[in-house]
């Protein structure tokens, strides 16, 4: 690793070149330069009936109307609340995650669903957005696909946004993204500072070129976001990575105690990629507040899709 001062200069230079906002990519401009670049929007869902219709109608449909989207896929985790039906009624193609690549068994988490979604789409650019967003707007997609359409040198775009935390009737600014601030950001500063410039390294909304997504392993659970980020750096270099500010996002928040399991999955994925010594994690996570019961955190990884083609 180069000296810290050199890394900091490189990150600052990267930020000047590769940080964007959605407003830099108006739909009319993207349509003019899109040419043959095909784009898929993928929305993993689990019990999102209350929000998926608005996400599709407000964030996705306007861009499809501009001719910017070639595929819209909702990959559902067997939701029992009508998510799939509402998504289909809104015009999306809906696939149940367990129906894809069934030889690998049932999907084990969001990362697994994303991996299977890459397999069933065909577009050159694949954009992942959340299905539980309370305030969807087109900029959430524009900011992710815009840099990839406009600049062929960019291979990966990570979303960034303000993450308020709702506590009862209060909304606390900057208090969301707790795993990011307490674990992921310190981890990257310590062990991969070239990625320390990303404001939201665990953001689940990102877009990438198919050739990259088909070349990397996907952790099945919460480790997928940091894994894709680290692997994108390793395969493409920092200058091929970008970040786009998407505004303010309001999503569902998990109870604090269960964020430890999320952090465990993130650490397991990072450990596999950063060469930390010691035994491989086995996925067992002890809950002392539940009579020291151990739960299983999904940390398995799916192989690179390109490797399946070679079998």
pLDDT tens for each residue of 189-219: 999 999 999 999 999 999 999 999 999 999 9
pLDDT at site 81:
97
Average pLDDT, the chain: 92
Instruction: Say if CB 287 and CB 258 are below 8 A apart.
Output: no
pLDDT at site 280:
80
| pLDDT, mean of residues 109-117 | 98
pLDDT at site 3:
85
How far is 68 from 60, CA to CA, in rounded Å? Answer: 10
Question: Which numeric CATH code is attached to 4-309?
Answer: 3.90.550.10
- Is residue 168 pLDDT above 90, yes or no? no
Range in 46-50, 79-83, 116-120, 167-171 with the lowest mean pLDDT: 167-171
pLDDT bracket for residue 171 (50, 70, 90): low
Number of H helices, E strands in the chain: 13, 14
Q: Each residue of 250-296: pLDDT tens digit?
A: 655 667 778 899 999 999 999 999 987 777 888 998 888 888 888 99
| pLDDT, mean of residues 161-180 | 67
Instruction: State the number of CA atoms in the 13 A half-sphere of 76 facing the CB.
Output: 22
pLDDT at site 286:
87
pLDDT at site 191:
94
pLDDT at site 26:
95
pLDDT at site 159:
96
pLDDT at site 247:
82
- What strand order describes the sheet that includes 71-76? 19-21, 241-248, 156-162, 206-209, 125-128, 39-45, 71-76, 93-96
pLDDT at site 169:
65
- Is residue 229 pLDDT above 70, yes or no? yes
pLDDT at site 56:
98
Instruction: Say if CB 114 and CB 214 are below 8 A apart.
Output: no
| pLDDT, mean of residues 166-188 | 75
Give the strand pairing for 19-21 and 241-248: parallel
Q: Whose CA is closest to 76, among 108, 115, 47?
A: 47
- Is residue 105 pLDDT above 90, yes or no? yes
Q: Each residue of 3-41: pLDDT tens digit?
A: 889 999 999 999 999 999 999 999 999 999 999 999 999
pLDDT at site 275:
82
pLDDT at site 172:
57
- Is residue 165 pLDDT above 90, yes or no? no
What DSSP string describes 198-243? -S-TT-S-EEEEHHHHTTS-EESSTTHHHHHHHHHHHHH-GGGEEE
- Is residue 310 pLDDT above 70, yes or no? no
pLDDT bracket for residue 170 (50, 70, 90): low
How far is 284 from 299, CA to CA, in rounded Å? Answer: 10
Instruction: Say if CB 227 and CB 2 are below 8 A apart.
Output: no
Q: Each residue of 32-67: pLDDT tens digit?
A: 999 999 999 999 999 999 999 999 999 999 999 999
Higher pLDDT, 173 or 29: 29
The segment with the largest mean pLDDT, out of 73-82, 129-138, 301-310, is: 73-82
**Domain limits, the chain:** 4-309
């Amino acid at each position: 690793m180069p000296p810290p001062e050199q890394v900091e200069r490189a990150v600052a230079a990267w930020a000047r070149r590769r940080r964007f906002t959605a407003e830099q990519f108006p739909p009319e401009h993207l349509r003019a330069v899109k040419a043959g670049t095909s784009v898929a929007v993928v929305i993993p869902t689990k019990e999102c009936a209350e929000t998926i219709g608005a996400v599709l109608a407000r964030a996705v449909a306007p861009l499809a109307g501009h001719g910017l989207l070639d595929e819209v896929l909702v990959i559902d985790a067997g939701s029992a609340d009508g998510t799939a039906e509402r998504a289909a009624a809104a015009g999306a193609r809906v696939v149940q995650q367990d129906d894809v690549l069934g030889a690998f068994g049932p999907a084990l988490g969001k990362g697994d669903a994303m991996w299977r979604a890459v397999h069933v789409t065909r577009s050159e650019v694949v954009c992942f957005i959340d299905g539980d967003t309370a305030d969807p707007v087109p900029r959430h997609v524009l900011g992710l696909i815009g840099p990839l359409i406009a600049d062929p040198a960019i291979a990966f775009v990570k979303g960034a946004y303000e993450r308020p935390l709702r506590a009862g009737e209060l909304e606390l600014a900057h208090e969301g993204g707790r795993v990011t601030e307490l674990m992921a950001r310190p981890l990257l500063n310590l062990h991969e500072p070239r990625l320390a410039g990303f404001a939201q390294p665990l953001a689940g909304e990102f877009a990438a070129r198919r050739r990259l997504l088909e070349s990397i392993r996907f952790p099945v659970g919460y480790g997928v976001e940091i894994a894709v980020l680290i692997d994108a750096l390793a395969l493409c270099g920092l200058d091929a990575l970008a970040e786009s500010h998407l505004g303010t996002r309001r999503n569902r928040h998990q109870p604090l105690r269960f964020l430890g399991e999320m952090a465990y999955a993130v650490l397991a994925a990072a450990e596999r990629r950063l060469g930390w010594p010691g035994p491989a994690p086995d996925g067992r996570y002890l809950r002392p507040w539940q009579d020291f019961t151990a739960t299983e955190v999904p940390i398995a990884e799916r192989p690179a899709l390109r490797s399946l083609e070679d079998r």
